[in-house]
Amino acid sequence: MPIDPQFEENKEHAGEENGVDVWGPTDPPEELGIHGTHVAVDYDICIGDGACLEDCPVDVFTWVDTPGHPESEIKAEPTHEAQCIDCMLCVDVCPVDAIDVDPGRAGRI
């Protein structure tokens, strides 16, 4: 199941990690929620393959450790989401549809 594009309405704001908004519920290490707002990554389905890191022309993503998560023990954090140019390459290359980019949410980060 891909990331919920309506996560802001359907999930609760659970706080912040590494300067990035987190939307929950969260219950580490199995349930990590969605990280980011303008550029959002659903950590619960992210498999950490790195395609988004490799293809992003403005280096929005960095690796973070997520030990014990059943899908992967590293995730792509949208650490620099304010740099996003809305090219959608990360959305296109994600094999599990774990990323959503919404230009309308850019002003809310």
Q: Annotated binding residues for [4Fe-4S] cluster, as ranges?
A: 56, 84, 87, 90
Q: What are the structure tokens assigned to 38, written together?
A: 């303008």
Buried b (16+ CB within 10 A) or exposed e, 74-91: bbbbbbbbeebeeeebbb
Annotated binding site for [3Fe-4S] cluster: 46, 52, 94
Residue 52 CB neighbour total at 10 angstroms: 23
* Run of H or E including 41: strand 39-42
Annotated binding site: 35, 46, 52, 56, 84, 87, 90, 94
Annotated binding site for Zn(2+): 35
